[in-house]
């Protein structure tokens, strides 16, 4: 359902995949807590998702992680 919803908003023909983060959630939740920051949004489990990409895609040689505030102005694949 998530992938179908994403595809409905994007141009056809894109090589797109979505991975559920739930299997890594118990491990990430162990990292959360403490009082290292007053910003509650920093304690979201998804803030740690990038640290587990090598486990989500173990067959990949390279993974490019772009945060949500990144704007890409050129063909990134051409540079890889």
Supply the Cα-derived Rg of the chain in whole angstroms: 16
- The per-residue pLDDT for 34 is 62
Check: CB of residue 29 under 8 Å from CB of residue 19: no
DSSP secondary structure code for residue 70 in this structure: -
pLDDT of 35 > 80? The answer is no
Helices marked H in the chain — which ranges?
2-9, 25-29, 53-56, 76-79
Q: Quick check: pTM over 0.95?
A: no
Check: CB of residue 8 under 8 Å from CB of residue 14: no
- The per-residue pLDDT for 36 is 61
Q: Could you give the CA distance from residue 56 to residue 51 in angstroms, rounded to a whole number?
A: 10
- Give the pLDDT mean for 3-25: 83
Tell me which of 72 and 31 has the higher pLDDT: 72
């Amino acid at each position: 359902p998530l992938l179908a919803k994403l595809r409905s908003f994007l141009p056809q023909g894109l090589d797109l995949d979505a991975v559920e983060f739930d299997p890594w959630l118990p491990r990430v939740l162990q990292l959360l807590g403490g009082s290292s920051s007053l910003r509650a949004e920093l304690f979201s489990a998804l803030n740690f998702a990038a640290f587990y990409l090598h486990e989500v895609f173990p067959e990949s040689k390279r993974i490019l992680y772009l945060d949500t505030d990144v704007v890409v102005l050129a063909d990134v694949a051409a540079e890889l």
